[in-house]
């Protein structure tokens, strides 16, 4: 089922509620089973995220590089909390637990592109990239 859900999310930006019965029917499962899978995995959204998605690592290796304070700066800059989206729908910021960039921390990922050694100048770059 995961490849199907990934395709849905790639197309619609989320797993729309009306899709669940279709998936259940196609796979000969109950709606409850499909709902169970969709809600189990952190990646699948119930509604689309902002146009840009910034994932900031909160795991130990980034913590050791002052990642929590850097993340707080980024969140404050955009006036968001974890999981929040700016009112104009431009940016969503999410927590992530490890991007595998642990020797270049603190790390983040903007729209699938990895960013390492996040600091003041990279935060400016991110800001420019999302147009804020």
Partner 1 sequence: MTKIFVPCDAAARAVGADRVALAIQQEAARRGVTLDLVRNGSRGLFWLEPMIEVETPAGRIAYGPVTPSDVSALFDGGLLDGGVHALRIGRPEDVPFLKRQTRLTFARCGIVDPLSLNDYRAHGGYRGLARARELGPVGTVQEMTASGLRGRGGAGFPTGIKWKTVADTSADRKYIVCNGDEGDSGTYADRMLLEGDPFVLIEGMTIAGYAVGATKGYIYVRSEYPDAIRTMERAIVLAEAAGLLGAEAGFDLEVRVGAGAYVCGEETSLLESLEGKRGQVRAKPPLPAHKGLFGKPTVINNLVTLATVPAVMADGAKAYADLGMGRSRGTMPIQIAGNSKHGGLFEAAFGLTLGEIVDDIGGGTASGRPVRAVQVGGPLGAYFSRALFDTPFDYESFAARDGLIGHGGVVVFDDTVDMARQARFALEFCAIESCGKCTPCRIGSVRGTETMDKVIAGDRREANLALVEDLCQTLKFGSLCALGGFTPYPVMSAIRHFPEDFGRPRLAAAAE
Contacts to partner 1 by CB under 8 A: 1-3, 5-6, 27, 33, 36-37, 40-44, 57, 59-65, 96-105, 107, 109, 112-117
Mention every residue, 6+ apart, whose C-beta is less than 8 A from residue 121.
Answer: none
Q: How far is the CB of 89 from partner 1 (least distance, A)?
A: 22
Q: 3 or 18: whose CB is closer to partner 1?
A: 3
Say how far apart CA 98 and CA 84 lie, in whole Å.
19
Mention every residue, 6+ apart, whose C-beta is less than 8 A from residue 37.
Answer: 1, 2, 5
Q: How far is the CB of 44 from partner 1 (least distance, A)?
A: 6
Q: 5 or 91: whose CB is closer to partner 1?
A: 5
Q: 80 or 108: whose CB is closer to partner 1?
A: 108
DSSP category for residue 85: B
DSSP category for residue 117: S
């Amino acid at each position: 089922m995961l490849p199907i859900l990934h395709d849905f999310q790639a197309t619609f930006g989320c797993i729309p509620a009306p899709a669940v019965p279709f998936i259940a029917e196609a796979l000969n499962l109950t709606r409850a089973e499909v709902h169970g899978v969709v809600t189990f995995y952190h990646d699948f959204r119930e509604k689309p995220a902002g146009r840009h998605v910034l994932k900031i690592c909160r795991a130990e290796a980034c913590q050791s590089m002052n990642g929590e304070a850097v993340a707080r700066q980024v969140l404050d800059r955009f006036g968001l909390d974890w999981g929040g989206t700016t009112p104009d729908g431009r940016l969503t910021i999410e927590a992530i637990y490890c991007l595998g960039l642990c020797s270049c921390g603190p790390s983040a990922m903007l729209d699938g592109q990895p960013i390492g050694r996040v600091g003041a100048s990279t935060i400016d770059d991110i800001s420019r990239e999302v147009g804020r």
